[in-house]
Amino acid sequence: MSEDYDQGVYPGRNSEGLNPEWPCDPFHVLIATILSQRTRDDNTRKASDALFHRYDSVDEIADADPEEIAELVRPAGFPKQKGKAIVDCCRMLRDVYGGKVPEETEELVKLPMVGRKTAACVRSYAMCIPSVCVDTHVHRISNLMGLVDTRTPEETEFALMEITPRERWSDINRYFVRHGQVTCLPNHPHCERCRVTQFCRFYSDNRR
């Protein structure tokens, strides 16, 4: 997969594979990953760009009007929910964590709209801490291939951690997401151009 998807994925990368102009630091990646929930990559990019061009720090967003933030992030969908969550998140970072994004998953998930997936993305992409970030693509493809037999993303996360070397944990999201976007589509997987069919239970069960 690394040969096919050398660009990997990144919160805020657009559909053409271009990284955003803002820094790949814990603060920016955290906010962009919150914005990425239930929307497309291009929408995440538009909303993140609009927000960071106007407000570019924890303190600035913490002091901002949630309604203005909601308008800035509208391209990502659910503007009121995400706008309020982002302001509340930055206020918590300022008041509880001294303006820093915590490293520990247990602390990250205390932030508004931050679950294990978002926490893992921040740790993986911004902190270079090996983490298994399980989104819909990772959960679906891992089960489709027969790597795991799980019902929830959290079960998938821990199952993949057991069978994957720690130094490769972060690669799972980077490559499985692109694989799910380009080749292993949810409704019509392109098995004819997939390079990992020899490892795939779905292909083995359905080939003719």
pLDDT at 12 over 90: no
pLDDT at 16 over 70: no
C-alpha span between 99 and 79 (Å, rounded): 24
Cα 186 from chain centroid (whole Å): 18
Cα 31 from chain centroid (whole Å): 11
CA distances to 14, 195, 200 from 142, rounded to whole Å, are 24, 15, 9
pLDDT at 93 over 60: yes
Percent of all residues in the chain with a pLDDT value above 90, rounded to a whole number: 84
pLDDT at 11 over 90: no
DSSP labels, 139-168: HHHHHHHTS---SSHHHHHHHHHHHS-GGG
Q: What per-residue confidence (pLDDT) applies to 21?
A: 74
Quick check: do 26-126 and 136-206 share a fold?
no
184 phi and psi angles, rounded to 5 deg: -90, 70
Closest alpha carbon to 3 in 202, 133, 128, 178: 178
Q: What per-residue confidence (pLDDT) applies to 5?
A: 55
- In this predicted model, which residue has the larger pLDDT, 174 or 163? 163
DSSP labels, 36-72: TTTS-HHHHHHHHHHHHHH--SHHHHHTS-HHHHHHH
Q: What per-residue confidence (pLDDT) applies to 23?
A: 85
pLDDT at 29 over 90: yes
Q: So where are the chain's domains?
A: 26-126, 136-206
pLDDT at 9 over 60: no
For residue range 106-150, what is the model confidence (pLDDT) as tens digits? 999 999 999 999 999 999 999 999 999 999 999 999 999 999 999
Q: What is the mean pLDDT of the chain?
A: 92
Q: What per-residue confidence (pLDDT) applies to 207?
A: 79
Over residues 154-162, the mean pLDDT reads 98
Reported as a pLDDT band with limits 50, 70 and 90, residue 17 is: low
Reported as a pLDDT band with limits 50, 70 and 90, residue 62 is: very high
Checking 195-204 for CB contacts under 8 A at 24+ apart, the result is 195/1, 195/3, 195/4, 196/1, 196/145, 199/145, 200/144, 200/145, 200/146, 201/144, 201/145, 201/146, 202/144, 202/145, 202/146
CATH topology of domain 136-206: Endonuclease Iii, domain 2 (1.10.1670)
Token code pair at residue 97: 């964590």
Q: What per-residue confidence (pLDDT) applies to 4?
A: 60
Token code pair at residue 189: 């997987």
CATH topology of domain 26-126: Endonuclease III; domain 1 (1.10.340)
Over residues 18-36, the mean pLDDT reads 88
